Amino acid sequence: MHPLMLHVACDLGPIRAVTASVTATDEGCEAEFVLDGHIPAIVVPPQATPERRDNLWQTTCFEIFWQPLGGKGYREFNLSPSGQWAAYDFDSFREGMRDAPVEAVAITCSHDAAGLVLRARIAADLPAPAQVALNAVIEHADGSKQYWALAFPPGKPEFHSEANRAIIVER
C-alpha cells in the first residue's frame, strides 16, 4: 500500500490517512483504497446500479490515472463507493477527452465508523509499464473537500498533472 498525501491547501478533517495500491493484471488492473478516520463525517455515496457515470469526482471518489511510459496520452478512472465508475482517455494534459473503452469494472466497498475500503477490478487494455497516479477526493458532510494523492505539483490540486503519477506499474 502507498500512503497518499493531503494537499497543503486542504484542512485536516475527519479522514486522517489514505492508502492505496494498484496491480496490473492480464485483464487490466486491480486497485484498493483505504480511508482511516471518522467515516460518519464524510459523504459516502450510497450503493447504486453499477454503471458508467460522469461527474463522480464531485463527491467522495477514488481515481487512477494510467499513462504508458514515454507516452503523452493517459487514461483516467473514477471509482465511486456507490459502485458507479467512469473512464476517460486523453491525448495529452486535459486534451482530447473521450469515453475510454472498458470491458468491465467491478467495485466493492465496505465501511464502518472508523474506516472505508474500496476495491476495484478493471478489465481494460492498460499498457505496461506505466506511470500511475492514485488519488482520492473526500467530501465532508459540510460540503468541503479534501484532496489526496501520491504527489502534487505546486499550486492548486491538479490530478491530471504528470507529477501525480509517482509509481511505475509493470506486469
Q: What string of H, E and C letters represents the secondary structure of the chain?
A: CEEEEECCCCCCCCEEEEEEEEEECCCEEEEEEEEEECHHHECCCCCCCCCECCCHHHCCEEEEEEEECCCCCEEEEEECCCCCEEEEEECECCECCEECCCCEEEEEEEEECCEEEEEEEEECCCCCCEEEEEEEEEEECCCCEEEEECCCCCCCCCCCCHHHCCEEECC
If the chain, 171 residues long, is cut into consecutive pieces of 10 residues, what is the mean pLDDT of each piece?
Answer: 96 94 97 97 96 96 97 97 98 96 97 97 96 98 96 94 94 84
Which domains are delineated in the chain? 2-169 (2.60.40.1190)
- For the entire predicted model, the pTM comes to 0.96
pLDDT of residue 12: 86
In this prediction, residue 25 carries a pLDDT of 96
